[in-house]
Amino acid sequence: METRREKGLKTLGVLTESDGTGILKRLKEFPALAHGVVDFAYGEVLSRDVIDPKMRQLLTVTSLASQGMLTPQLKVHFKGALNVGAKPEDLIEVIYITMIYAGMPKALNAAAVLQEVFREKNINIEVDLDAAED
Q: Kindly identify the residues of this chain, within the stretch 62-91, that bind a copy of itself according to CB under 8 A.
A: 62-70, 72-73, 88-90
Nearer to a copy of itself among residue 83 and residue 106 (C-beta): 106
Rule CB under 8 A: say whether 1 interacts with a copy of itself: no
CB of 128 to a copy of itself, least distance (A): 7
**Residues 6+ positions from 131 with CB-CB distance below 8 Å:** none
Residues 90-129 that bind a copy of itself (CB under 8 A): 90, 92-109, 111-112, 114-115, 118, 125, 127-129
CA distance 73 to 90: 18
SS3 per residue for 78-134 = HHHHHHCCCCHHHHHHHHHHHHHHHCHHHHHHHHHHHHHHHHHCCCCCCCCHHHHCC
Nearer to a copy of itself among residue 82 and residue 95 (C-beta): 95
CB of 49 to a copy of itself, least distance (A): 10
Angle at 85 between CA 114 and CA 8, to 5 degrees: 95
Helix (H, G, I), strand (E, B) or coil at 22: helix
Choose which of 10, 27, 84, 116 interacts with a copy of itself (CB under 8 A).
27
Rule CB under 8 A: say whether 16 interacts with a copy of itself: no
**Residues 6+ positions from 53 with CB-CB distance below 8 Å:** 11, 14, 84, 85
CB of 93 to a copy of itself, least distance (A): 5
Choose which of 10, 14, 16, 41 interacts with a copy of itself (CB under 8 A).
41
